[in-house]
């Protein structure tokens, strides 16, 4: 007990969080640069170990790795929920999604005005729009299918993608023309792609189409401050990849793992095209790029979360601890590992601060501006504590320093020292009952600030699960 307390105190008090020979750069003054551009690249159900910068041995991600190599890798980067929709809601608002009742994946029902991100909450796009930014969401929306939730009504000037939580990848399978038809047939995964409000036909593999649109948007907006939310649905099921991408992963024997890897290869190619475009247009040094996954890898898509325990849908590390990196040449030091816990909540706070965009005092952010921390100007912890709630599982979890705590109707009670035990193998509850009780009270006090989900439970057609 004494050893555990001593170790945890040392971890919380330590300021040795940057491991690199590079010296932190100074943030340019607002007078010396145009407003910076922002790109958030989000993958879907990608495993923690399925990027090169986290040690992948079988899936090559040289372009995704450029973001970490040329910037900062967050070794303890988290999302706010263990499945897609609520996690994305936390990212887009910078607030714990349970504060506004987004504690479930939304049903895909254009007749339900509650099944989406409430219009009372402001997304990144809505905060940036008044200060002169042009915003695009390309890819997966999943923030509601009712007309009030449409991206073009939520601060996004351009939308190219789909409203649902998943999609099929081959253009010949995208045959559903209307919302009514999709609802009737429960065929959201087969809807035609939307360009703003119009449904269009595509002729390339979906991931490539999304990458094409991202490049086109950057080229159009190169002279204006922009925010690009590139929300890939890969490598979410169904497992579908082109022969070209499969050939590049033929060294992987397992068929599902090979297809999953091929889907990540397609994403990696797209990320490379985005980064190359920034360089070709000479705007890379004025563009901040985040990369992360929306939750941990799923048991259904052959992903790898090692050495973390658990997967998508769970609150062990494998469900919420994700690949996470950021780059901004000349501002963020390159080749740096940042070890203190950070959250997807911090993306909104970082972008709003850099854009000098006001935030409503009525809905304060739960995230922080990460730039002072990763440049070494602020040696404090970005977060004293991070929390999670899985309402339908009866789960509360928290991370404080290296201490991980979970109380769950489904999983039971857990206490781990993540520095000594990142795989959560040694449950310390029995020998630390008093500490666990205090932390449980702390989680319950936080949960009192939240509300129950306003979204009715999701019912997914088995055919559309992939």
Catalytic residue positions, numbered: 84, 142
Beta bridge partners of 327: 289
**Host H or E run for residue 6:** helix 2-13
The four Cα atoms 223, 224, 226, 232 give a dihedral, to 10 degrees, of -40
Q: CA-to-CA distance for 355 and 129, rounded, in angstroms?
A: 10
**Host H or E run for residue 343:** strand 342-343
Q: Which string of DSSP letters, residue by residue, matches 139-178?
A: EE--SB-SGGG-GGGTT-SEEEEESSS----SGGG--B--
Q: CA-to-CA distance for 284 and 71, rounded, in angstroms?
A: 12
DSSP 265: H
Q: CA-to-CA distance for 47 and 296, rounded, in angstroms?
A: 5
CB 51 within 8 A of CB 323: yes
List all residues 6 or more positions away from 358 whose beta carbon is below 8 Å from its beta carbon: 127, 352
Quick count: other Cβ atoms within 10 Å of Cβ 427?
A: 15
Quick count: other Cβ atoms within 10 Å of Cβ 378?
A: 15
CB 230 within 8 A of CB 274: yes
CB 294 within 8 A of CB 337: no
Site of tokens 């795989």 = 423
CB 105 within 8 A of CB 116: no
Q: CA-to-CA distance for 109 and 320, rounded, in angstroms?
A: 27
| Tokens read off for 152 | 């073009």
| Tokens read off for 50 | 């399925």
**Host H or E run for residue 37:** strand 37-43
CB 104 within 8 A of CB 357: no
Q: Which string of DSSP letters, residue by residue, matches 194-236?
A: EETTEEE---S-HHHHHHHHHHHHHHHHTTS-EEEEEE--TTS
């Amino acid at each position: 007990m004494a050893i555990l307390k001593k170790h945890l105190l040392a971890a919380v008090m330590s300021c040795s969080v940057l491991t690199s020979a590079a010296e932190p750069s100074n943030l340019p003054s607002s007078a010396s640069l145009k407003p910076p551009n922002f790109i958030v690249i989000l993958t879907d159900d990608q495993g923690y170990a399925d990027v090169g910068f986290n040690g992948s041995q079988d899936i090559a991600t040289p372009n995704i790795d450029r973001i970490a190599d040329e910037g900062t890798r967050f070794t303890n980067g988290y999302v706010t929920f263990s499945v897609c929709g609520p996690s994305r809601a936390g990212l887009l608002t910078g607030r714990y999604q349970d504060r506004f009742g987004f504690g479930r994946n939304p049903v895909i029902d254009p007749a339900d005005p509650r099944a989406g991100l409430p219009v009372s909450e402001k997304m990144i796009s809505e905060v940036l729009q008044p200060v002169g930014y042009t915003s695009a969401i390309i890819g997966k929306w999943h923030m509601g299918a009712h007309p009030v939730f449409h991206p073009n009504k939520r601060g996004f000037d351009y939308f190219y993608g789909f409203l649902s939580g998943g999609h099929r990848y081959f253009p010949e399978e995208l045959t559903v023309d209307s919302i009514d038809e999709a609802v009737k047939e429960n065929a959201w995964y087969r809807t035609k792609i939307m360009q703003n409000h119009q449904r269009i036909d595509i002729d390339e593999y979906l991931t490539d189409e999304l990458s094409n649109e991202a490049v086109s948007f950057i080229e159009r907006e190169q002279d204006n401050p922009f925010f690009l939310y590139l929300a890939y649905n890969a490598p979410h099921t169904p497992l579908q990849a082109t022969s070209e991408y499969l050939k590049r992963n033929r060294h992987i024997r397992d068929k599902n793992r090979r297809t999953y890897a091929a889907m990540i290869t397609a994403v990696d190619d797209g990320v490379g095209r985005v980064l190359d475009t920034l360089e070709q247009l000479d705007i890379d040094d004025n563009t901040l790029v985040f990369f992360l996954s929306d939750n941990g890898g799923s048991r259904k898509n052959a992903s790898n979360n090692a050495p973390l325990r658990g997967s998508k849908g769970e609150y062990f590390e494998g469900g919420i601890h994700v690949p996470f990196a950021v780059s901004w040449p000349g501002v963020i030091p390159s080749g740096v590992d940042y070890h203190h816990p950070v959250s997807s909540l911090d993306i909104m706070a970082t972008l709003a601060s850099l854009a000098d965009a006001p935030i409503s005092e009525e809905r304060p952010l739960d995230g922080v501006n990460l730039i002072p921390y990763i440049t070494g100007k602020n040696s404090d912890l970005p977060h004293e504590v991070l929390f999670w709630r899985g309402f339908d599982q009866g789960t509360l979890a928290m991370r404080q320093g290296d201490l991980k705590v979970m109380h769950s109707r489904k999983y039971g009670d857990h206490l781990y020292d993540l520095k000594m035990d990142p795989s959560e193998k040694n449950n310390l509850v029995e020998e630390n009952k008093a500490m666990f009780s205090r932390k449980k009270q702390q989680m319950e006090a936080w949960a009192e600030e939240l509300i129950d989900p306003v979204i009715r439970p999701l019912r997914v057609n088995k055919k559309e699960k992939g």
